[in-house]
């Protein structure tokens, strides 16, 4: 029921249903080889292609795999899922490279004046980008397109007329919901959901995304030590141009929390962008992220370790915000919009009107109707509202956690939410 409060009573010691137990048992019965060779061979077999391009990505892929392979706490099912994800990314890499070889003119396309939402995860970025994407004048990226930007030339829509890529994406979502049923209330991942363009970085085996699915501090350190500009100007831009080639629009709306710590690469890649920066109490973000990840860990790890996620994401959110404050001067003052979470939640349509004004995009009656229809079809808490509780679930003091973010509260008029 919409708005119904949901309390996760088994965060630390999960109570599993028979389907979850069966899935975990199956995972333990399978030997999954987490090696670069195995992943690439699987992608070649499934696509019939074999040109991965320069092999510099091997080092990055090897580290992604090692983060799971070296962890005895990772379940057999978790190993299977990680292998399948990496093989899917490798397959997408093959198809992208093949398409660009056959149609080099794709790289001549331009992505002009995009509206790009950046901000902490769990700070309203998802709702904001999905709301703006309801305006059909703009191009956006539904998850099913991001996961497989290049269709299999041997496939055709079925009798229902739906792209097979949509069905594959939906199958992944349904498996996620079976394994972790409350994910829909915390972070929807259905095929038509407008998602983050970091999907195009995954076939290049970079981005902070892996930190959400694997306990990967080694990858974090590697990723932060390497300039991401080549990946933004290469894999990310190529992915957007491919989608633009298939389905043109004059302007894009994008979003990705990772951009907070990559404002330099972002602005080098999209110098004429309008940047929308969302702001929320970091402690609320940490509380939400740590709860979601500890809940999802029940299928991927033998112990959920809520304190690990709290400590890791407290540090990670601090790094994201420190980088964003440090690099704030890189953003164009006349094309940057700051969105405070409490103001956005109070009047989301007014927020969009303000963004459009800065972006130079007229708000038409048709666009206003499309946005209103989206809001009516997506009420807050449609799948129920998870009750987050730092003290109960993590034994943590919100005020102690907040001390690390005084620099952020001193810079922006953010309201403390968690007490």
Q: Give whole-number Cα distances, 249 to 31, 136, 363, in Å.
A: 45, 9, 17
Helix (H), strand (E) at residue 337: strand 336-340
pTM over 0.75: yes
**Chain centre distance of CA 54:** 26
- DSSP H helical segments within 327-419, as ranges? 341-346, 348-359, 365-377, 390-394, 398-402, 406-411
Rounded distance, CA 325 to CA 61, Å?
Answer: 30
State the average pLDDT for the chain.
95
pLDDT band at 187 (very low <50, low <70, confident <90, very high): confident
Contact 208, 223 (CB under 8 A): yes
User: What digits encode the pLDDT tens for the residues 367-415?
Assistant: 999 999 999 998 876 667 889 999 999 999 999 999 999 999 999 999 9
Q: Give whole-number Cα distances, 14 to 5, 9, 17, 75, 304, in Å.
A: 19, 8, 10, 14, 8
Contact 166, 152 (CB under 8 A): no
Higher pLDDT, 188 or 270: 270
Higher pLDDT, 256 or 158: 256
Six-digit token pair at 260? 């907070």
Location of structure tokens 């998850």? 143
Residue 1 clears pLDDT 50, i.e. is over it: no
User: What digits encode the pLDDT tens for the residues 71-109?
Assistant: 999 999 999 999 999 999 999 999 999 999 999 999 999
Rounded distance, CA 84 to CA 42, Å?
Answer: 9
Contact 259, 321 (CB under 8 A): no
User: What digits encode the pLDDT tens for the residues 117-176?
Assistant: 999 998 889 999 999 999 999 999 999 999 999 999 989 998 888 999 999 999 989 988
pLDDT band at 272 (very low <50, low <70, confident <90, very high): very high
Residue 419: what pLDDT?
A: 83
CB-count burial class (<10 Å; 0-12, 13-18, 19+) for 6: middle
Six-digit token pair at 346? 């109070």
Q: What angle do CA 362, 365, 366 make, to 5 degrees?
A: 95
Residue 188 clears pLDDT 90, i.e. is over it: no
Phi, psi dihedral angles at 407 (to 5 degrees): -60, -35
Rounded distance, CA 401 to CA 256, Å?
Answer: 24
Comparing 57-71, 147-161, 280-294, which segment has the lowest mean pLDDT? Answer: 147-161
Domain definitions of the chain by residue range: 5-151+164-411
Location of structure tokens 């440090």? 326
Residue 2: what pLDDT?
A: 54
Rounded distance, CA 177 to CA 189, Å?
Answer: 9
- DSSP H helical segments within 180-305, as ranges? 183-186, 217-224, 229-231, 237-246, 263-269, 282-300
DSSP readout, 133-202? HTSTTEE--BHHHHH-SS--TT----TT---HHHHHHHHHHHHHHHHSTTHHHH----TTSB--GGGGTG
- DSSP H helical segments within 103-124, as ranges? none
Contact 233, 268 (CB under 8 A): yes
Rounded distance, CA 265 to CA 229, Å?
Answer: 4
Helix (H, G, I), strand (E, B) or coil at 186: helix
Assign domain 5-151+164-411 to its CATH architecture.
Answer: 3-Layer(aba) Sandwich (3.40)
Percent of the chain clearing pLDDT 70 (strictly above): 99
Q: Give whole-number Cα distances, 23 to 54, 202, 279, 374, in Å.
A: 37, 26, 39, 36
Q: Taking residues 244-258, what's their average pLDDT?
A: 96
Q: How many other C-beta atoms lie within 10 A of the C-beta of residue 44? A: 17
Six-digit token pair at 118? 């950046």
């Amino acid at each position: 029921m919409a708005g119904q409060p949901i309390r996760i009573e088994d965060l630390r010691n999960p109570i599993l249903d028979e389907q979850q137990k069966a899935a975990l048992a199956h995972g333990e019965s399978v030997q999954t080889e987490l090696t670069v060779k195995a992943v690439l061979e699987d992608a070649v077999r499934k696509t019939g292609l074999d040109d991965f391009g320069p092999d510099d990505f091997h080092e990055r892929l090897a580290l992604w795999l090692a983060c799971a392979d070296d962890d005895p706490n990772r379940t057999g099912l978790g190993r299977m899922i990680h292998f399948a994800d990496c093989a899917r990314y490798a397959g997408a890499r093959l198809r992208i490279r093949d398409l660009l070889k056959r149609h080099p003119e794709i790289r001549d396309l331009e992505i002009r004046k995009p509206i790009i939402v950046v901000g902490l995860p769990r700070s309203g970025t998802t709702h904001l980008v999905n709301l703006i994407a309801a305006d059909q004048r703009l191009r956006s990226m539904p998850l099913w397109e991001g996961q497989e930007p290049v269709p299999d030339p041997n496939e055709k829509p079925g009798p229902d007329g739906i792209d097979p890529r949509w069905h594959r994406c939906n199958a992944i979502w349904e498996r996620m919901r079976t394994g972790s049923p409350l994910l829909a209330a915390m972070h929807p991942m259905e095929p038509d959901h407008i998602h983050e363009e970091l999907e195009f970085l995954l076939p290049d085996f970079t981005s902070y995304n892996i930190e959400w699915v694997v306990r990967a501090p080694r990858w974090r350190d590697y990723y932060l030590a390497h300039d991401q500009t080549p990946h933004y100007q290469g894999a990310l831009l190529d992915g957007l141009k491919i989608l633009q080639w298939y389905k043109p629009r004059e302007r894009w709306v994008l979003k990705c929390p990772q951009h907070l710590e990559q404002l330099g690469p972002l602005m080098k890649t999209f110098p004429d962008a309008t940047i929308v920066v969302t702001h929320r109490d970091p402690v609320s973000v940490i509380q939400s992220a740590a709860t979601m990840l500890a809940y999802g860990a029940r299928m991927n790890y033998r112990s959920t370790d809520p304190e690990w996620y709290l400590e890791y994401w407290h540090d990670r959110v601090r790094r994201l915000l420190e980088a964003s404050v440090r690099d704030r001067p890189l953003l164009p003052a006349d094309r940057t919009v700051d969105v405070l979470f409490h103001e956005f939640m109070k009047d989301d349509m007014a927020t969009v009107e303000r963004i459009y004004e800065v972006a130079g995009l007229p708000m038409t009656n048709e666009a206003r109707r499309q946005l209103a229809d989206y809001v009516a079809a997506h009420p807050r808490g449609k799948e129920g509202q998870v009750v987050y509780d730092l003290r109960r679930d993590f034994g943590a003091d919100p005020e102690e956690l907040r001390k690390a973010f005084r620099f952020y509260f001193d810079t922006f008029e953010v309201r403390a939410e968690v007490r």
